[in-house]
Amino acid sequence: MITKKNISVVLGTRPEIIKLAGVIRLLGAEGEVVYTGQHSDADLSSSFFESFHLRKPDLRLTGIGGAPRGAQISHAIAQLSEHFMATRPRLVVVQGDTNATSAGAQAANYCDIPVLHVEAGLRSHDRSMPEEINRRVVAVLSAMNCAPTVRSAENLASEGISPARIRITGNTVVEALKESLPSQEDSLKVINDYGLRDNEFVMATIHRPENTDDEIRLSVILDELSKIPLPVLFPIHPRTAIRADSFGLEGKIKRLLYSPPLDHPTFLALASHARLIISDSGGIQEECTVLKKPLIVVRENTERPEACEAGFATLVKAGSDISAQAFRLLEDMELSRSLETLPCPFGDGKASERIADIALSMASGEVPPYSEFGDLSNSSVR
């Protein structure tokens, strides 16, 4: 019989809250939530606990949000190690590739506690990305890697991770989106509140360092967005707002329909009625395949090639190509209909159940179950 709080779920950002909410609820009294506060802005963090009907975190770390990457990870490791030594959970669960993910896995390892990594095996093969380093470090430290797709499982196997430490579960984003997506009636009300018309606007988000920390690149991206012949709704991430202000680019932002950050249901309501989405977000690359919307990915590379290969996403490496690609997609009158027929490559909406079952089994000292969803049996990688 598992005692209370034997599973510690460590998270620190909005996407982690969204993607782990279903797992946390299924763990129930067996799990605790430790929030590092990597996203210190309430609009990007605390409100999301409420949106997904989650209790307040059992522990909230201090001194993390806004600190440099090295300080975030080191401060989090110190606080998490102290907490884990005092409470001795049987398992630590982390998700994705954030600094909170890396810190949680390292602290657990130092305390000799097994780690379960959700959304394991994604690879951009670009070591200049902090996220790439984080997810590679966590893969080595994890006792169990829950890979969302066969490709991500193959990535892990090719790096020498034993198949016994890999389970293919699907991605929890599928059920998270379906839970958060407002009804058609409520969604139409949202777009009306923003003065927009169904299928006659573009949704854009930009926040990654490769786009926001380079003045010329950010300027070009904003110019390209302003060339699009439909209204462009631009919820502005705090990081982007700070960089734009420091570069003197506020005037270029004002040419767009900019807004503060959005909660998840509001974002999905708008995205579900946009004609086109433009973003550098990893999560939106997954969400567009559930919403059946075309996406322009403003990145040098992507760790989610499945969205591109399935036909939902187009990778644009040069910011100056955004408007040209947008024109091409907007002029394709059959695109929307064809996307509706394509299956989502990220799962069937049961990933949270599979991951919770694996976590509970590990906390009980049992061998985690394999999933009928997929394994490496048909893979060329062994």
The predicted pLDDT at position 4 comes to 53
> Is 50 domain-assigned?
yes
For residue 43, give the DSSP letter. Answer: G
Are residues 189 and 161 part of one domain? no
Are residues 164 and 190 part of one domain? no
Q: For residues 109 and 115, is the Cβ–Cβ distance under 8 A?
A: yes
The predicted pLDDT at position 375 comes to 56
> Is 336 domain-assigned?
yes
> Is 375 domain-assigned?
no
Distance CA 167, CA 207 (A): 31
Number of domains into which the chain is organized: 2
Task: Indicate the residue type of 2.
Answer: I
> Is 382 domain-assigned?
no
The predicted pLDDT at position 67 comes to 87
List the pLDDT tens digit at each of the 382 positions of the chain. 444 579 999 999 989 999 999 999 999 999 999 999 887 665 456 677 888 889 899 999 999 988 899 999 999 999 999 999 999 999 999 999 999 999 999 999 999 999 999 999 999 999 999 999 999 999 999 999 999 999 999 999 999 999 999 999 999 999 999 999 999 999 999 999 999 999 999 999 999 999 999 999 999 999 999 999 999 999 999 889 999 999 999 999 999 999 999 988 999 999 999 999 999 999 999 999 999 999 999 999 999 999 999 999 999 987 889 999 999 999 999 999 999 999 999 999 999 999 999 999 999 999 888 765 555 455 443 3
CA nearest to 106, candidates 141, 65, 62: 141
| Structure tokens given for 226 | 């302003």
Are residues 196 and 245 part of one domain? yes
Determine how β-strand 295-298 pairs with β-strand 276-279.
Answer: parallel
Are residues 231 and 130 part of one domain? no
> Is 371 domain-assigned?
no
Are residues 164 and 74 part of one domain? yes
Are residues 353 and 265 part of one domain? no
The predicted pLDDT at position 5 comes to 78
Q: For residues 116 and 93, is the Cβ–Cβ distance under 8 A?
A: yes
Distance CA 376, CA 379 (A): 5
CA nearest to 40, candidates 21, 14, 15, 8: 14
> Is 381 domain-assigned?
no
> Is 36 domain-assigned?
yes
Question: What's 192's domain CATH number?
Answer: 3.40.50.2000
Are residues 187 and 335 part of one domain? yes
> Is 376 domain-assigned?
no
Are residues 87 and 124 part of one domain? yes
Are residues 103 and 167 part of one domain? yes
The predicted pLDDT at position 380 comes to 43
The predicted pLDDT at position 40 comes to 64
DSSP 265-287: HHHHHHHTT-SEEEE--HHHHHH
CA nearest to 52, candidates 98, 101, 9, 88: 9
The predicted pLDDT at position 41 comes to 63
Are residues 248 and 125 part of one domain? no
What is the pTM assigned to this prediction? 0.92
CB-based contacts of 246, cutoff 8 Å, min separation 6: none
Are residues 81 and 196 part of one domain? no
Q: How many CA atoms lie within 13 A of 368 on its CB side?
A: 27
Which domain covers residue 155, as residue numbers?
7-172+349-363
The predicted pLDDT at position 354 comes to 96
The predicted pLDDT at position 307 comes to 97
The predicted pLDDT at position 14 comes to 87
- Number of alpha helices (DSSP H) and beta strands (DSSP E) in the chain: 18, 13
| Structure tokens given for 43 | 């609009």
Q: What is the maximum alpha-carbon separation in the chain? A: 61
Active site residues: 207
CA nearest to 149, candidates 375, 339, 381: 375
Are residues 146 and 268 part of one domain? no
Q: For residues 3 and 79, is the Cβ–Cβ distance under 8 A?
A: no
For residue 149, give the DSSP letter. Answer: S
Q: Which residue has the tokens 């989610």?
A: 304
Distance CA 233, CA 257 (A): 5
Distance CA 240, CA 238 (A): 5
Q: For residues 314 and 295, is the Cβ–Cβ distance under 8 A?
A: yes
